[in-house]
Chains A and B, each alone.
Chain A
Amino acid sequence: MATVTLENLRKSYGKTEVIHGVDIDITDGEFIVIVGPSGCGKSTLLRMVAGLETVTSGDIQIDGRNVNSVEPMDRDIAMVFQNYALYPHMSVFDNMAYGLKIAKVPKDEIAKRVANAAEILQLEPYLKRKPRELSGGQRQRVAMGRAIVRKPAVFLFDEPLSNLDAKLRVQMRLEIKALQRDLGVTSLYVTHDQVEAMTLADRMIVMNSGVADQIGKPLDVYADPATEFVAGFIGSPPTNFLDAGQLGRRVEGGAKVGIRPEHIRIVPQTETDFAGKVVYSEPLGAETLVHLKLLDGEDVTVRQEGALPIPEEGESCGLSWEAKDEMIFSEDGSRVRQSGS
């Protein structure tokens, strides 16, 4: 159990800075998800916390102790890797017991802890097998088991589900969440999948080219993105961005208007100034995604109830939304707040 604090954390490779100062206070037991597209520096950030990458400047504190120059083994952390990084020549039992053996934990205590972890993760029938004799999901569990038997202060997850198929991913996601709740261990979880981020996180850090664009609770981030990047990255299908000038929205410094697909309604053309042609519709059952092209060539996606009539391809429709749902962004992508809103 521990708090983790990152203070103006920076990382450079030679002259290229890849992490441009990240600050966050993580409270004990919190589940933090670092999310962003590939190359945004999220894995580097995690590996710095793990001690696998050096810190160029800034501070990392685990439970109030500065660990900048502390070796990974002395940081009281456990990490689950994307490719699981199991020891191929050891049995499942030995994989999980490895860290405990090194820590010179008594044999009966090791047996007890591994048995306990195996029970939680349903690995009991496989303890004698080698990793290569396991399926992807089982390997994933062994990697989790290896992390939990050591009872670390902090769990680090580096895209642990990205090698699993879609169905297993959803299942493991729920299990990780439940496990983290049960154990109450402070966790940092890296993913590029915004659905994983939304569902797992107590708070999430949205990374964009080495900058933490926004840190907050998933729903807060969704409802109130701080930058154009966050608005576009969080949410599927992504936010529609329209030219502010074309829309006639005169807000100082505003260049673009973002509207989430679910906030746009298709209405008769007589009721609105905005119209577009339907390019194609995707009926998904519970909802329908309608992709349109506006008269000035901009693409817009509308998400509507599955029960509503599905517009025909090529049909012209009017589009309408409420002014309060508009998010205005400046040229450089930052959010422009209108006074009083």
Chain B
Amino acid sequence: MAHGFAMEKRVTFKGMWLPLLLIAPQIVITAVFFFYPAGQAIWQSLFIPDPFGLSMQWVGLGNFEFLLKDPFYRASFVTTAIFSTLVTVVSMGVALYLAVLADRLIKGSGTYRTLLIWPYAVAPAVAGVLWLFMFNTRVGVVTWYLGLLGYDWNHVLNDSEAMGLVVVASAWGRVSYNFLFFLAGLQAIPKSVIEAAAIDGARFWTRFRTIVFPLLSPTTFFLLVVNIIYAFFETFGVIHTITGGGPQQATTILVYKVYSDGFVGQDLGSSAAQSVILLVIVSILTVVQFKYIERRVHY
């Protein structure tokens, strides 16, 4: 997090071999699971393989050129923007609300906290299946209740219902994580500052707006970046189990399109190019996170 790095302790090594040996595992893991595939993706993005994967044809930046002109790819960008905004706003909003309530709680806060943390332990794909069953168009319990209310739920056919469902399912597991950080952030605000504001005449909502929220901003900013990255990448499992990117392309976010174009559509060149674009996006997000989290949001 933003604070806490102040008490740095430096150890100096005399030789060169021990430090190299100590960082070797990390280097190896990064190399095998990141640099090698990333390099492969960049390399592949410059070719078009034939459908059987027997030969490759050099196309330079052709894949990228094609993607930027492709209306489906552009639509996927918009879908991703909508999806990640909604997931981030919903999961952070709900988490903040729950954290504010938990912060006021004196008795039973341990139980409350534990219960709220549980969803985090559920793998995204499992969470997806869970929500899928509840909203199943034929046997889903929520669908049935909605039917009683006269609402005909069908996310298989309806674009916005499909989007709504994957957003809720993705945000649900994320609330726990955000909740923990928000709660820690709230508890780090000195009680006396809140009391001083109360004596100064600020009621709950004014206090929240003028004191609590600004003091939470390092936490909020951190979570914002982390949640956007989550919505971009880790929601694959949820989308794959619930909608498979459909109906049509309504829930095909960028990372899902990498998969469906590459492994379903067998267009490995385009898929690789899309991975490279995602790589650039996540790099920018990370740079933003590191650059701004230390400075701008600190009071």
Contacts and interface: CB of A to CB of B under 8 A. Distances in A.
Interface of A: 50-52, 71-73, 77-79, 81-83, 85-89, 98-99, 102-103, 130, 146, 150
A71 B192 CA distance: 16
B197 A87 contact: yes
B199 A89 contact: no
A85 B192 contact: yes
A50 B191 CA distance: 14
Instruction: Determine which residue in B206, B214, B299 has the highest number of CB atoms from chain A within 10 A of its CB, and name it.
Output: B299
B215 A102 contact: no
A87 B199 contact: no
A52 B198 contact: yes
Given A71-B198, A79-B199, A86-B193, 5 more contacts: A87-B197, A89-B215, A99-B199, A102-B206, A103-B201
* B contacts with A: majority SS: helix
B196 interface: yes
Interface residues on B, range: 10 to 19
Given A52-B195, A73-B199, A83 B214 contact: no
Interface string B190-218: 10110111111111001000110011000
Contacts of A78: 199
Contacts of B215: 88-89
B220 to A, nearest CB: 13
Interface of B: 190, 192-193, 195-203, 206, 210-211, 214-215, 299
A89 B206 CA distance: 15
A72 B299 CA distance: 27
B195 A81 contact: yes
* A contacts with B: majority SS: loop
Contacts of A52: 195, 198-199
Nearest to A82: B192
A211 B192 CA distance: 25
A231 B214 CA distance: 49
Contacts of B299: 88-89, 130
A321 B192 CA distance: 49
A334 B299 CA distance: 54
B214 A77 contact: no
Contact of A87 (B193, B198, B206): B193
A82 B196 CA distance: 11
Contacts of A72: 195, 198-199
Nearest to A97: B200
20 contacts: A50-B199, A51-B199, A52-B195, A52-B198, A73-B201, A73-B202, A79-B195, A79-B196, A82-B192, A83-B190, A85-B192, A87-B196, A88-B215, A89-B214, A98-B197, A98-B202, A98-B210, A146-B196, A146-B200, A150-B200
Contact of B195 (A85, A98, A150): A85
B200 A98 contact: yes
Contacts of B196: 79, 81, 85-87, 146
A96 B206 CA distance: 16
Contact of B211 (A50, A83, A87, A150): A87
Contacts of B210: 98
A77 B190 CA distance: 20
A73 B193 contact: no
A21 B199 CA distance: 25
A249 B109 CA distance: 59
Contacts of B192: 81-83, 85
Contacts of A81: 192, 195-196
Contacts of A73: 198-203
B298 to A, nearest CB: 9
Contacts of B214: 89
Contacts of A71: 198, 203
Contacts of B199: 50-52, 72-73, 77-79, 99
A78 B200 CA distance: 7
- Which 10 pairs from chain A and chain B are nearest by CB? A99-B200, A89-B299, A85-B192, A85-B196, A73-B201, A102-B201, A81-B192, A89-B214, A72-B198, A72-B199
A50 B192 CA distance: 12
A329 to B, nearest CB: 38
B190 A102 contact: no
A106 to B, nearest CB: 16
A264 B195 CA distance: 48
Contact of A102 (B193, B195, B202): B202
